[in-house]
Amino acid sequence: MSSKLLDQMLEEAEPKVEALGYELVDLELVKEGANWYLRFYIDKEGVVDLDDCQKVSEMISDWLDEEDPIPQAYFLEVSSPGIERVLRREKDFLKFAGSVVAVKLFGPWQGKKQYEGTLGPVTADHLTITDAQGQVLEIPRDMVSRVNLAWIDIKEG
């Protein structure tokens, strides 16, 4: 399935999910083994629980039954984006500016394919992070494969 169709589905589903009181963070269609999975990731203030996922799943299932945009059989899943939430859209970058992120690249840039640092300004051309050494990196956006919030293990003692 094309990313264009997934983007269109995200755009169409977003107001439906928001009407239920949730944020539609992302969606993906992936093949695992012999099966396809259509996953919707939702968020809200506080904790997303099983009842939230069920409520959104029922609405999305009805909508998908009407629209039928995906030709192959798939399993529908609705879940929280988790602690290492993907940042994909401009609103995500604005919301999580100042947070620690993990950045994966399509290929090496300055000798590395992965970076971690505090998210700074993001433009159409660059994603800016400040690494642990205080170095400001302006990574070309066209090299960025994926950006996630980074889970930091803080240990006492």
pLDDT in tens, the chain (157 residues): 567 888 889 999 999 999 999 999 999 999 999 999 999 999 999 899 999 999 999 999 999 999 888 888 999 999 999 889 999 889 999 999 999 999 999 999 999 999 999 999 999 999 999 999 999 999 999 999 999 999 875 554 4
The distance between the two most distant Cα atoms of the chain, rounded to a whole number of Å, is 56
What element of type H or E holds 89? none
Round to whole Å and give the CA distance between 52 and 22: 9
User: Domains along the chain?
Assistant: 3-79 (3.30.300.70), 90-149 (2.30.30.100)
pTM more than 0.85: no
H or E, element range at 97: none
Geometric angle at alpha carbon 78, from 59 and 149, rounded to 5°: 130
Helix or strand holding residue 63 (H, E): helix 50-67
